[in-house]
Amino acid sequence: MQVRRWHKLLVLGLVVVCLVIAAVVVKRARAGSRGSAAGKETGAGDERVPYATVATAKRETIATSLSIAGQFIPYQNVELHAKVAGYIRHIDVDIGDRVHQGQVLAVLEVPELVAQVDEAKAAVHHAEEEIARAQSDVSRAEADHVALNANATRLLNTDKARPGLIAQQELDDATAKDRASAAQVDAAKSALSAARQQLAAAKANHQHYSALSDYTRIIAPYDGVVTWRFSDTGSLVQAGTSSTSGAPVVTVAQINVLRLRIPVPESIAAVVKIGDSADIHVQATGERFTGKIARFTNSLDTSTRTMQVEIDVPNPTYRLQPGMYANVQLSAGSRPNILAVPIEAIRRGDNKTSVLIVDSQNRVQSREVQTGVQSSSAVEIVAGLSPGERVIVGNLGSYQPGELVQPKEAALSAKGADSE
């Protein structure tokens, strides 16, 4: 009996324990279900709507300009040739050397030219001696003429005073000698004139060869830098004339002033004026400064549709070098009363341009637009937007059409420096 009672009590206890465990499990399950439902309800209420920085499309005046890559070139650059053929006796410069105007860079040796100079000098001396001899002949002829003329005049006067006293043959001889002496004077003077002309020709010939002798010295035409050397001591160089193209001796570039040459597109070529200022940024050195347009070609290159414009840039320390590039910003005028949005609001791709607008329900919408001029901070909207509409600025890839956002206004600055 006791065993049966113990067995019943044990079974009853197990049943109670199972009921208690089941009750606890059910209670926990219900509590978890209520907590999950409550969590979903509160989560929907606490989910944060993302912020979106927006700007209002409005009419502004956009000051446009153009950013163009330009290249520095020497103000002057010349290849120095020898005017006469010869051997280089010595050359005193090498690449990179700074030279001054009038400095002798190289000297040629031309032996036959020295002989020609000496010959021309001797011809000058000979012509001078011929002039001296001709002058003596003129003096002698004039003296003879004076004596013979006086004798003829005396005989004629005597014959007039006492006719028949002097024989007619004697009178005729005196008159003939007088006329012959006059002709001798004229001949002597002609010989003197020819001698003087011969002297002038001899001097011109001497000057010619002396000038050629001066060309044996290669001289710097201006202050600059030797950018290349083509010959060495002992090299034979040919005369650089219009009919022959001998190799140059050296190349000298003037770089204390540089030309910054930029190709200006056709779209703004008409508004470029001499004296217009330009902002220059040298990429290699990081320098920034302002220059002024010095000159332009006033014609377009038909292949590139650009006009070459030059800015003179002082370079006294030779810090800037020919061949360096610089970004140049030129003013291209301004466009008043145009509808503009910040440049960060523009999305370009797939051959179309679009913006993301925020409608009156703060929902994102994609809108295709047509753009016009552009500054560094704003873009003209030609079609696709109306004044007052809000566009998202920046992080455009973070938003999807139809998404709810919290708009946050950003200021629009339409005045910029660069344009396309």
Question: Is 50 exceeded by the pLDDT of residue 413?
Answer: no
State the alpha helices, DSSP H only, in 162-295. Answer: 168-214, 266-269
pLDDT of residue 22: 65
Q: Which residue has the higher pLDDT, 9 or 353?
A: 353
Instruction: Assign 375 a pLDDT band (cuts: 50, 70, 90).
Output: confident
Q: Which residue has the higher pLDDT, 196 or 23?
A: 196
Q: Average pLDDT for residues 100-108, to the nearest whole number?
A: 93
pTM of the model: 0.57
HSE-up (13 A, CA, CB side) for residue 375: 25
Edge-to-edge order in the sheet of strand 104-109: 217-219, 104-109, 86-91, 236-237
pLDDT of residue 10: 64
Q: Average pLDDT for residues 28-47, to the nearest whole number?
A: 44
Distances (CA, A) of 107 to 42, 63, 179: 97, 58, 61
Listed by start position, the domains of the chain span 53-62+336-409, 82-108+216-248, 111-215, 254-334
pLDDT digits (tens, 9 = 90+) for 357-372: 999 899 999 999 988 8
Q: Average pLDDT for residues 27-43, to the nearest whole number?
A: 45
Cβ proximity of 226 and 93 under 8 Å: yes
- The tokens describing 291, both together, are 């220059």
Q: Average pLDDT for residues 15-42, to the nearest whole number?
A: 53
Mean pLDDT of all residues belonging to the chain: 82
The correct answer on CATH 2.40.420.20 for the domain covering 53-62+336-409 is yes
Query: Which string of b and e fits 255-283 if b means at least 16 CB within 10 Å?
Result: bbebbbebbbeeebbeebeeeeebbbebe
Strongest mean pLDDT among 11-15, 99-103, 270-274, 394-398: 99-103
- The tokens describing 180, both together, are 């012959």
pLDDT of residue 336: 83
Give the Cβ contact number of residue 233 at 10 Å. 12
pLDDT of residue 32: 47
Q: Which of 173-187, 188-202, 274-288, 401-415 has the lowest mean pLDDT?
A: 401-415
pLDDT of residue 325: 95
Strand-pairing partners, residue 78, are 252
Q: How far apart are CA 109 and CA 416, in angstroms?
A: 63
Question: Is 50 exceeded by the pLDDT of residue 415?
Answer: no
Contacts of 121 (CB under 8 A, 6+ apart): 206
Q: Which residue has the higher pLDDT, 417 or 240?
A: 240
Q: Which residue has the higher pLDDT, 20 or 316?
A: 316
Cβ proximity of 372 and 382 under 8 Å: yes
Question: Is 90 exceeded by the pLDDT of residue 40?
Answer: no
pLDDT of residue 17: 62
Q: How far apart are CA 399 and CA 140, in angstroms?
A: 119
Q: Which CATH number fits domain 82-108+216-248: 3.30.930.10, 3.40.50.2300, 2.40.50.100, 3.90.1150.10?
A: 2.40.50.100
Helix, strand, coil percentages (3-state) for the chain, rounded to 5, are 35, 35, 30
pLDDT digits (tens, 9 = 90+) for 158-191: 778 788 777 788 877 878 887 888 888 888 888 8
Question: Is 70 exceeded by the pLDDT of residue 242?
Answer: no
pLDDT of residue 47: 56
The CATH fold assigned to 254-334 is Elongation Factor Tu (Ef-tu); domain 3 (2.40.30)
Cβ proximity of 99 and 92 under 8 Å: no
Instruction: Assign 13 a pLDDT band (cuts: 50, 70, 90).
Output: low
Strands 288-296 and 51-56: unpaired
Q: Average pLDDT for residues 113-135, to the nearest whole number?
A: 86
Question: Is 80 exceeded by the pLDDT of residue 284?
Answer: yes
Q: Would you give the end-to-end CA distance of the chain in angstroms?
A: 108
pLDDT of residue 7: 60
Instruction: Assign 420 a pLDDT band (cuts: 50, 70, 90).
Output: very low
Q: Which of 80-94, 157-171, 254-268 has the lowest mean pLDDT?
A: 157-171
pLDDT digits (tens, 9 = 90+) for 306-354: 999 999 999 999 999 999 999 998 877 677 888 989 888 898 887 888 9
